[in-house]
Structure 1
Amino acid sequence: MQIAPIRAAIAAAAATVVLPPGTGALTATGYTPDSIAEPHFFTAEVNVDFDKTMGRGLDELEITCRVLVGRGDDRAAQQLLDALLSGAGPASLKQAIEAARGAPGEYALGGLAHDLRVERVQGYRWYEHAGVQYVGAEMTIRVIGDGRT
């Protein structure tokens, strides 16, 4: 599996969420940006487990992603973050990203991986990014795919 295209495909899937009226659109990048336009989703740390099967048949990625929301109004920011972190609904990142799994029998992320799953949300707290404070959280996404590609 090639990591950069997978990160970009996850960000593209995340960008399909529909935020509540008056909120604007979620910006998303497949890399850790220098600065952000909030609300923003980005892929961050990547852990790789090679050789999960013999002959380089399967590798596994654990990708930590962050979603950061502006804090102009702390209550409204946390309500928006809650909507993004929910398991379902038009603003659900989990639902948007897992839609990129494809139909049964298809490869995930447009053929880049065998499958993916949003596993958990953690670290719901204040984050500093490029000297600015945001309310945010981390999402862990597990991706499996052919280790020979």
Structure 2
Amino acid sequence: MQLGLIRKAIATAAEAVVLPGGGARLTCSGYTPDSVVAPHFFTGEYDVEFDKTYGRGLDKAELTCRVLVSRSDDAAAQRLLDALLGGAGPASLKAAIEAARGAPGEFALGGLADDLHVTRVQGYRWYEHAGTQYVGAEIMIDIIGSGGS
């Protein structure tokens, strides 16, 4: 698996989110940015388990992504974050990212991975990024793909 390309493809998939109220737009990065324009989704750290099958047949990665929302209004920021972390609907990051899995029998992310699955949300709290405070959370994604690429 080529994690750099996969991270970029996941960020592109997240751009499909439609924020409540139709005002602001979710900005997205396939890397950890120096600074963000909130609300912002980005792919971060990952862990890789090699050789889940013999002969470099399959690797498994767990990707940690973050979504950060401006805290100019604490209650409104948390309502927006809750919508982004929902399991379904136009603002759901899970729904937007998993739409990139493709149709049954197709590879995920346009062929970059065999499959992916948004498994959980964790770390719902205040984050400091580049000296600015945001309310945010981590989104965990399991990705499987060929170990030979």
Q: TM-score, normalised by structure 2?
A: 0.99
- Residue 43 of structure 1 corresponds to 43
Question: Which amino acid in 2 is paired with 1:85?
Answer: L
> C-alpha distance in 2, partners of 1:121/1:23?
25
The CA RMSD measured in Å over matched residues stands at 0.6
- Residue 56 of structure 1 corresponds to 56
Structure 2 gap ranges (5+): none
Deviations 1:29-84 (A, max 9, x none): 01000000000000011100000000000001100000000001000000000000
> C-alpha distance in 1, partners of 2:112/2:12?
13
> C-alpha distance in 1, partners of 2:58/2:23?
40
> C-alpha distance in 1, partners of 2:45/2:8?
14
Structure 1 gap ranges (5+): none
> C-alpha distance in 2, partners of 1:139/1:24?
21
- Residue 142 of structure 1 corresponds to 142
Q: Percent identity?
A: 72
> C-alpha distance in 1, partners of 2:23/2:139?
21
Question: Which amino acid in 1 is paired with 2:37?
Answer: A
Deviates most, 103-112 or 13-22:
13-22
Deviations 1:96-119 (A, max 9, x none): 000000000000000000000000
> C-alpha distance in 1, partners of 2:79/2:43?
22
Question: Which amino acid in 1 is paired with 2:148?
Answer: R
> C-alpha distance in 1, partners of 2:23/2:144?
34
Q: What is the number of equivalent residue pairs in this alignment?
A: 149
- Residue 124 of structure 1 corresponds to 124
- Residue 28 of structure 2 corresponds to 28
Change (3 A) 1:106 1:22: closer
> C-alpha distance in 2, partners of 1:131/1:146?
39
Structure 1: which 4+ aligned runs deviate by more than 2 Å? Answer: none
